[in-house]
Structure 1
Amino acid sequence: MTEIIFTEHDRLEIGADEYRLRRERVFQLLQDRQLDAICVFGPTRVAYLSGFFFSPTERPIALVLTAGGAVAALLPNLELSHFQQQGPQLDDSAVYPEYPGGGSGRHPMLFLRELLSRLGVLGKVIAADVDGYEHRWGYRGPALSAVLDQSVQADVALIDDLRMVKSAAEIALMTEACRWGDHAHRLMQDSIRVGSEELLISHGASLQATRDLLAELGGRYVPKAREGLPANAMFIRGSNTAHPHGLHEAGAVQARDVLVTGAYGVVGGYESELERTMIVGEPDDRFRRFFAAMLAAQQVGLEALRPGRSCAEVEAEVRGFIRDELGMDDLVRHHTGHAFGLEGHEHPFLDLDDHTVIEAGMVFSVEPGLYVPEFAGFRHSDTVVITPSGSERLSLYPRELDELVVPVA
């Protein structure tokens, strides 16, 4: 559906022109809504608008955009050169020594107030994604509105709504991420044996897939984080899979264990999602029944996705099928899926109470699950992009049962 815009020689990341276009959309949004400026605190939103990826800590960072087209930032001194390396040219900046003050005797948010004053927007109509920096790693700080002594129009949707429909470049990066998530899953599946430790197999496959990615992509791969690997796979097993987000457990894989897996790639900061339900050894009738029901429900979700429908309508169709055709509504623990991109979960959601209209270019997971207490969970998840006429899977790993059986011998 989507033209892949990266050549075999291109670095796999969003380019400066697209970041500039994103900021221009915000400038227009500010003018349309008669807002004089917006302060963006969320690390993912800062990265989305500027290309500045960083490891969030207790030190507040904010990107400021004004209706007049100015770009400015609040930065701790330890991130200044990092921003200069990645981010756009700034019209102004406020650089503070350290949190909570570094000997300055002033909270970092007071530096932001001075920056807004220099930009000529203090006392005018100011918006923000959230009313101040989020509390993480021991950060204690006042709300932006308290620092400015004025109301602030805080609304995460101001930026997040712009992120819902992905560009061709974003979809290309997620398609590449899917390729490596699929590869990590294949390595993991092929490594599982009776007696395997789930943690060791999961991490071993992730590391080997990462080695393969770096060997193939070389300098085209551009890391956007300090932590984690660009290709990952994991699984949980047995009755623990009846918990939709069950944690790892110690112990070895046994014959007849149900496995619920997860795998993903990260390319240019963009993620993929792949999950599969597997079985160790020959599946019995009980397993086959629930597996077939789960697979049928996912197929309903894949076919229900198309532009013009609401997220709630898609969810209602899937839930109706599970309730009326399968008679398994009591086994549902979560909605059918969610959007994602720079984050593993993004707005909107395939949920009965989300009435967002689906558009071409949105990317969703499709993952209706069935959870049988004391037995197992059953869930496939695929990365799906909305096309002009329907949807297209970007994660291409096998979905059928005969390809998801781990041999015992």
Structure 2
Amino acid sequence: MTSRLTRAREQMTSRGVSTMLITPGADLRYLTGYHAKPLERLTCLVLPVEGEPTLVVPALERAAAEAAGVEVAVATWGETDDPFALVTSLVADGAIAVDNQMWAARVLELQRRMPHSEVMLAGPVIEALRMRKEPAEIEALRQAGAAIDRVHARMGEWLRVGRTEREVGADIARAIVEEGHVQVDFVIVGSGPNGSSPHHEVSDRVIGAGEPVVVDIGGTTPAGYCSDSTRNYVIGGGAPSDYLDAYAALEAAQAAQREHARPGVTAESVDAVGRELLTEAGYGDLFIHRTGHGIGQETHEEPYIVSGNDLVLEPGMAFSIEPGCYAEGRWGARIEDIAVCTDDGLEVLNQRPRELVVL
């Protein structure tokens, strides 16, 4: 973790930040390895651009912080102490950057205590580090991808006519843990018309014969990295002909995006390649969301694969490629893989068949 702190300081210097304040969340876990609980008691990493970093924690959380193997000094505060006084005593003069997820009450209190300091977001500093994955992080994402692939491979155990989405979702959730995750992050089972809502989760709707079903699932592995993959199923065949036509176009679009994505191209160009193909096929209006999102210690993080993002992709950047088509009130389809840029191409981390699976 020391190298990450060093690189964070380099980013701070380039952006004119004197001190960074990071509270519990993925940023703190990334910089220190400590997966702190988001309690009402203040935990905060104080990282000055020069001098020693300090992790401020409640006294009752010291053991947990030390067990995480943090490589910075740990300063504790007692139950009746003022933690903000302790934090501000460690802050260097100049601009202060706070993590993007810091609670508003804490941001406002810090501003009150330091009225002459400029307060800005730390997101740009840390995002520049987190979206370029280290080799160990890429291997963790490979393992996460393989684990969620194993869940999709078992879909025939649970996805049957006459069962509800909720019943199927409960089985999937158990399997996500069985196949190597420590946490279920989300389970989407969208059958028939429910599939036309991209963020539908589960309901008591009974799955019928010939209905398309969107299954989008993900979890967090013991290493702290996330999986996310979407595949499409139909039970017993007989899917609507308009759905099958759209699905063929969607397969082609996603394949083109996988072929295009690599270091040196922009994030928005990956989106454009698939969107143009779907538009030419007559389905552009049905593709209602961005192509993808970065992934790592959070399911959604930088870089975002979306129109307007002219970020040039670099080796180590990991993201989803997930175009979709949604016919409101009838059906939906989405094909999603996690991929990572290599030195000269793209490694796709999900290997389950992308064609419509008939069970």
The share of aligned pairs that are identical, in percent, is 28
Structure 2 length as normaliser, TM-score?
0.91
Which residues in structure 2 correspond to 1:241-256 (within 5 Å)?
Answer: 241-256=195-210
Flag the 1:191–1:295 CA change in 2: closer, same or farther, 3 A.
same
Structure 1 length as normaliser, TM-score?
0.81
Structure-1 separation of matches of 2:178 and 2:200: 28
Structure-1 separation of matches of 2:100 and 2:211: 48
Q: Is the 8 A contact 2:151 2:176 kept in 1?
A: yes
Which residues in structure 2 correspond to 1:233-312 (within 5 Å)?
Answer: 234-267=188-221, 268-282=223-237, 283-312=239-268
Greater mean deviation of Cα atoms: 160-169 or 384-393: 384-393
Structure-2 separation of matches of 1:58 and 1:399: 45
Structure-1 separation of matches of 2:278 and 2:109: 45
Greater mean deviation of Cα atoms: 235-244 or 151-160: 151-160
Q: Is the 8 A contact 2:263 2:345 kept in 1?
A: yes
Flag the 1:33–1:364 CA change in 2: closer, same or farther, 3 A.
closer
Flag the 1:253–1:310 CA change in 2: closer, same or farther, 3 A.
same
Flag the 1:287–1:172 CA change in 2: closer, same or farther, 3 A.
same
Structure-1 separation of matches of 2:187 and 2:201: 14
Q: How many pairs does the alignment contain?
A: 356
- 2:2 pairs, out of 20, 24, 27, with 20
Structure-1 separation of matches of 2:12 and 2:179: 45
Q: Which residue of 2 aligns with 1:315?
A: 271
- Alignment pair present for 1:134 and 2:103: yes
Which residues in structure 2 correspond to 1:153-232 (within 5 Å)?
Answer: 153-155=119-121, 156-213=123-180, 228-229=183-184
Flag the 1:213–1:319 CA change in 2: closer, same or farther, 3 A.
closer
Q: Is the 8 A contact 1:315 1:350 kept in 2?
A: yes
Q: Which residue of 2 aligns with 1:114?
A: 89
* 5+ residue gaps, structure 1: 1-18, 98-102, 215-222
Which residues in structure 2 correspond to 1:369-384 (within 5 Å)?
Answer: 369-384=324-339
Return the offset for 1:365.
Answer: 0.3
Structure-2 separation of matches of 1:96 and 1:125: 28
Flag the 1:92–1:150 CA change in 2: closer, same or farther, 3 A.
farther
* 5+ residue gaps, structure 2: none
Letter matched to residue 157 of structure 1: P
Letter matched to residue 12 of structure 2: L
Tell me the alpha carbon deviations over residues 109-154 of structure 1, each in whole angstroms, 9 at most, x when there is no partner: 23311333xxxx2xx123313489324xxx6762422221222341
Structure-2 separation of matches of 1:314 and 1:297: 10
- 1:61 pairs, out of 35, 43, 61, with 43
Return the offset for 1:187.
Answer: 2.1
- Indicate the RMSD between aligned Cα atoms, in angstroms: 2.3
Letter matched to residue 159 of structure 2: I
Flag the 1:366–1:93 CA change in 2: closer, same or farther, 3 A.
same
Flag the 1:349–1:200 CA change in 2: closer, same or farther, 3 A.
same
- Alignment pair present for 1:84 and 2:39: no
Letter matched to residue 373 of structure 1: E
